[in-house]
Amino acid sequence: MGEPNFWDNQEAAKKIINALKPLNGLLKPYEELTASAGDLQALAELTEEDPSLENDLLGEVDKVSGLYDRFELQAMMSGRHDASNAIVSIKPGAGGTDACDWAEIMLRMYTKWGQSHGFAVEIQDIAPNEEAGLQSVTFRIVGDYAYGYMQSEIGVHRLVRISPFGGGDTRQTSFAAVDVLPELDDTIEIEINEKELEMQTFCSGGPGGQHQNKTQSGVRLIHKSGVRAESRTERSQHKNYDNCIKMLKTRLYAIEEQKRMGDIEKRYDSKGEVAFGSQIRSYVMQPYTLARDERDGIDVKIPNVNQVFDGDLDPFMHAYLRWKTERLHKRAKSA
């Protein structure tokens, strides 16, 4: 970046700047932490001579402790694509209309979480359910390390409540599956042979005006491997096609990466049926309220489930990152 001709090729310059972001995301907190630790050491020595400085020392300890926690969290997001934007898909499972409503609640939950962290949330594809809720939704969370945080959400999520769509007062259990992929940048090239694609078009329907309702602007692409992508949010079929191609490339690349890591079954197939026994997290509203992670080794429970619905997901995400880091360390030692 210090070269005089750095900006001659703006596209190449932007790629270098984007590559620098995750490095600065780790190095700057490290530099701040080491500087603060030095100041803390000096203050501790002064406090030995002047005990009246003890309160100042305790305040500095709290400050450095917070810096360390943030640095530790950042250091745990060291995966190749952890610094990327996230592409999130939610699809209802068992539970009928309640499951569709649950998918919409989850969309709101992730939107609230993203906004509270300064991320932009952009809908890419959404299919409303006729009675209530959503049949499916795909959206982007745009910001540094969005994927690093959101990877903790991959899997089946279970909701237990008294259904607002039923006539009785019995509890209803509903499920929705969440998939999260990193958004790929232009430095990764993936070739897709159009002969290996089946393209389907459809009326977008739902909100969006007369043009969307009456024209075949929605696009669905199905790869020969079975991987598919849909887009219906744009008024133009060409734009929806471009969105589909981007999502399809991301999904195909993610599958190949997981195969390379020997993790394909855990990442995709382990979701299995979106129903009982497959959930990674439960959200209970009756007869008590509790949000609980169901994965072995992640012990997070939040009694106020509405707090979680309002986007308080950090305890789950941070615990997942620590759990994942410990697993990687154990795997490295055994290798």
CATH code for the domain of 226 = 3.30.160.20
Q: pTM for the whole thing?
A: 0.74
Q: Which domain holds residue 301?
A: 86-186+271-334
Residue 270's pLDDT is what? 45
Taking phi over 0 as left and psi of -120 to 50 as alpha, with beta for the rest, 148 belongs to alpha
Residue 212's pLDDT is what? 45
Residues of the chain with pLDDT under 50: 206-212, 264-265, 267-271
Q: Are residues 102 and 178 in the same domain?
A: yes
Q: Are residues 113 and 233 in the same domain?
A: no
Domain-located, residue 81: no
Q: For strands 155-162 and 279-284, give the pairing.
A: parallel
Residue 334's pLDDT is what? 74
- Mention every residue, 6+ apart, whose C-beta is less than 8 A from residue 244: 219, 220, 221, 229, 230, 231
Rounded Cα gap, residues 329 and 36, in angstroms: 28
Residue 211's pLDDT is what? 43
Residue 119's pLDDT is what? 95
Q: Nearest 5°: CA angle at 314, between 312 and 316?
A: 105
Q: Are residues 285 and 149 in the same domain?
A: yes
> What pLDDT, in 10s, does the model give residues 125-151?
888 998 899 999 999 999 888 999 999
> What pLDDT, in 10s, does the model give residues 107-118?
999 999 999 999
Q: How many CA atoms lie within 13 A of 243 on its CB side?
A: 25
Q: Are residues 214 and 242 in the same domain?
A: yes
Q: Are residues 237 and 321 in the same domain?
A: no
Domain-located, residue 92: yes
Residue 268's pLDDT is what? 43
Residue 273's pLDDT is what? 59
Domain-located, residue 17: yes
> What pLDDT, in 10s, does the model give residues 153-171?
999 999 999 988 876 677 8
Take residue 269 and report the two structure tokens written for it. 């197939």
Is the CB of residue 283 less than 8 Å from the CB of residue 158?
yes
- Total count of domains within the chain: 3
Residue 186's pLDDT is what? 57
Residue 167's pLDDT is what? 64
Is the CB of residue 273 less than 8 Å from the CB of residue 148?
no
